[in-house]
Structure 1
Amino acid sequence: MIDIKINDELELTDDKFLMIAGPCSVESEEQILGVARDLKKIGVNVLRGGTFKPRTQPESFQGLGEEGLKLLARAREETGMAIITEVMDEENLPLVEEYADIIQIGSRNSQNFSLLKAVSKYNKPVLLKRGFGNTIDELIGSSKYLALGGNKKIMLVERGIRTFETSTRFTLDVSAVPVLHEKTEYPVLIDPSHPAGINRYVEPLAMAGTAAGADGLIIEVHPNPKEALSDAAQQLTVPEFMELYDKIKRITEITRKNII
C-alpha cells in the first residue's frame, strides 16, 4: 500500500488506521469548533466538514462556501487537526486547495473527468469516493485520472452503491475492500454514514468495513443531529461516536492497525 503523508504529524501507512469524523456540513463557528474539540479529545486527528454541498434539491442548504473553509481553518488552528472538505467544481478548486489538507472528490463527481484532471495537478492527498452507480473498475479508472499529474497520494472510499434494495439509503459493498486492495496500491476507506442513511445502522456498517480490512473510516458526527442542516438522520452524536470509536479500536487490534 502506498504511504499517504497528510501533514507533518500524520502519515497513513500499512499498519495505521485513519479515522476521519465531523459534521456533514459546516454550519456555524460554534458548531464546528465545538465538535472539533470533542473529537480531538476522543483521538480523532482529521476533521471533515462540507463547505460546498452537492444537494439533490436546489432549495436545500448548499453550504457556507469560503466562510465555511475559514471556520475549518480556525478549527485546525485551535485543535491541530487536519481538515478535509469536498471540491465540487474546477472554479472553486484553487480555493479549496488553499485551505484543505485533504481534497475530497464526492460520489457525484467520481466520473467528472475534467475535475479529476484538474485536481491531479495539485500535490495534495485526495480522497476519492466511489460513485453510487459505478463499478469497482470504474472507480479505479477515476483514480488513474487523479494520478495523471504524478500524485499518488490517493485514498479510495467505498460509500455504498445504488441497488434494488431500499431498506437502506445505499448498499454498502464490503467486498470492495479486499478487491480494491488486490487491484490497486491505494488505501481503502469505508464511509458507513451514507449507505446507512439512519444513524443506528452506522455502527454495524463501520465495524463490518473495518473487519474486512479497511484502512480507515469517514463518519458524520454532529453535536446535535436533529438540528443539522443536511443529512440529519445519519449523523452520530459525539457520545455515539465515542462508543463506536472504542469498538473500532478493539477490531483494529485484531487487524494489527493503530488508529491515527
Structure 2
Amino acid sequence: MIVVTKIGTPAEEVNRICEELSSWGLSPEKIVGKHKTVLGLVGETADLDRHRIEELSPWIETVLRVERPFKRASREYRDHESSVVIVPTPNGDVAIGENHPLAIAAGPCSVETEEMIVETAMRVKAAGAQFLRGGAYKPRTSPYAFQGHGESALSLLAAARAASGLGIITEVMDTADIDKIVEVADVLQIGARNMQNFALLKQVGKQSKPVLLKRGLAATIDDWLMAAEYILAEGNPNVILCERGIRTFDREYTRNTIDMAAIPVLRKLTHLPIMIDPSHGTGWSEFVPSMSLAAIAAGTDSLMIEVHPNPKKALSDGPQSLTFDDFERLMVKIKNLETAMHQI
C-alpha cells in the first residue's frame, strides 16, 4: 500500500503522517519524488481500510494498494516515477536511469593479468565507457573451466580503477566475499546463476553500493523482479536490472535469446533502471553491435559489452568479445544513434 501526498505538502506534515502510521504498527518508507512525497507502507495492510488513512490529513491525495507481489520494485511504489542509480566513480558520479545519458560498461569476462585489464580499461574509457566490467570470481558450468583468479584479481581491478578512473563492476558469488569486493567494486554484480540465491541477495541488500541483478537463465520477469525485491527489502534501493538473454529452444545460432521485449515491459512494471548485455545475450561478437543499437532504440538505460584485447586468446567468453577496434567503431554508432533518438 502506498500513500501519495499532494504537491507542496510540508515536510512537518509528512513526518506527522509517518508518526501516526507507525503507531498503527506500520513502517512508512519515504520516497521523495520531483513533485510529491510517496509513503510506502510495510506491514500488515491487507485488511486496512484506505479511507481510514485518507482521513489522517487533508494533504493526502490518494491511497493505493500495490497489487503485484513485488511491492518496492513496482512502478506504483514511486508514483510511476523512474528511479535513478547514482554511482560515484573516480571520474565523477554516473547516473543510470531513464532520461539520463546512456551508461556503458565494457571489459573482459575475466580479469587475466594486470597489463591486460589496465590496457582494456584505458581503451574502453577512451572510446566513451564509464565502467569497467571484469570477473574476479567466475561461475562456470564446468568445474574444470577457468573460474577466475579470485581474490588476487581484485587488486588488478583496483589498479585498473586507479589508472583509468572508471567505475568497477564485478561479480559476487559468495556472501563471504562481499566485504572484500565492496572495497574495490563500485557496483556489485549478481550473476544469472545466482539470481535466486536468496541468502546472497539479502546480504548485498544490507550494504549500500549499487547492485546489478542479472536475469536468470530461465527466469520469468516476475521471478526477476521478486529477486530484486529481496535486495530492496533489506534497505538497498540501488538496484539495476540486467537482461542478458534467456535459454530457449535454439542453441545452435546464439548462446541465449536476448529478450528485447523485456525493456518496455520492465518500463511498465518497475521504476528500476535497465541494462542490456548483448554479449551474453547472443554469444557471438558479430551480433553484438546490432543488438546494442536495438536495445538503445527500445529504450535501455545502459549497456554491458564484453571487450578483450585478443578475444581468440581469452580465458573465457572469447567468441562473444569485441576487439578494441570493434568496440571503438560500435561506440561511434551508439553516439550517433543516441543523438538521433533525442531528436525523435
Q: TM-score range by the shorter chain?
A: over 0.9
Q: Give the corresponding residue for 1:94.
A: 179
CA distance in 1, matches of 2:340, 2:223: 31
Q: Give the corresponding residue for 2:295.
A: 209
Letter aligned with residue 5 of structure 1: I
**Per-residue deviation, 1:207:** 1.2
Q: How many residues align?
A: 257
CA distance in 2, matches of 1:71, 1:169: 29
Letter aligned with residue 69 of structure 1: L
Moved more, 242-251 or 136-145: 242-251
Q: Which of 85, 94, 113 is equivalent to 1:10?
A: 94
CA distance in 1, matches of 2:248, 2:143: 25
Tell me the SS of whatever aligns to 1:92. helix
Retained in 2: the 8 A contact 1:15–1:256?
Answer: no
Q: Which of 275, 289, 313 is equivalent to 1:189?
A: 275
TM-score (norm 1): 0.96
Q: Give the corresponding residue for 1:172.
A: 258
CA distance in 1, matches of 2:340, 2:229: 32
Q: Tell me which structure has the larger Cα radius of gyration.
A: 2
Q: Give deviations 1:57-99, integer Å, cap 9, x for gaps.
A: 1111111111111111111111111101000111111111121
1:113 aligns with 2:198: yes
Retained in 1: the 8 A contact 2:127–2:327?
Answer: no
Letter aligned with residue 85 of structure 2: I
**Per-residue deviation, 1:16:** 1.9
Retained in 1: the 8 A contact 2:121–2:132?
Answer: yes
Q: Give the corresponding residue for 2:28.
A: none
Q: Give the corresponding residue for 2:127.
A: 42
Q: Over aligned residues, Cα RMSD in angstroms?
A: 1.2
**Per-residue deviation, 1:127:** 0.5
Tell me the SS of whatever aligns to 1:62. coil
Q: Give deviations 1:24-53, integer Å, cap 9, x for gaps.
A: 000001100111111111121210000000
Moved more, 202-211 or 5-14: 5-14
**Per-residue deviation, 1:240:** 0.4
Retained in 2: the 8 A contact 1:116–1:142?
Answer: yes
**Per-residue deviation, 1:256:** 2.8
Q: Which of 305, 310, 313 is equivalent to 1:219?
A: 305
**Per-residue deviation, 1:100:** 0.6
Stretches of structure 1 lacking an aligned partner (at least 5 in a row): none
1:240 aligns with 2:326: yes
**Per-residue deviation, 1:146:** 0.8
Letter aligned with residue 4 of structure 1: V
Retained in 1: the 8 A contact 2:175–2:200?
Answer: yes
The structure with higher relative contact order (CA 8 Å, sep 6+) is: 1
Stretches of structure 2 lacking an aligned partner (at least 5 in a row): 1-81
Q: Give the corresponding residue for 1:230.
A: 316
The percent identity for this pair of structures is 47
Q: Give the corresponding residue for 2:45.
A: none
| Aligned ranges 1:58-207 → 2 under 5 Å | 58-166=143-251, 167-207=253-293
Q: Give deviations 1:223-256, integer Å, cap 9, x for gaps.
A: 0001100011110001001111111112222333
Letter aligned with residue 9 of structure 1: D
CA distance in 1, matches of 2:332, 2:303: 13
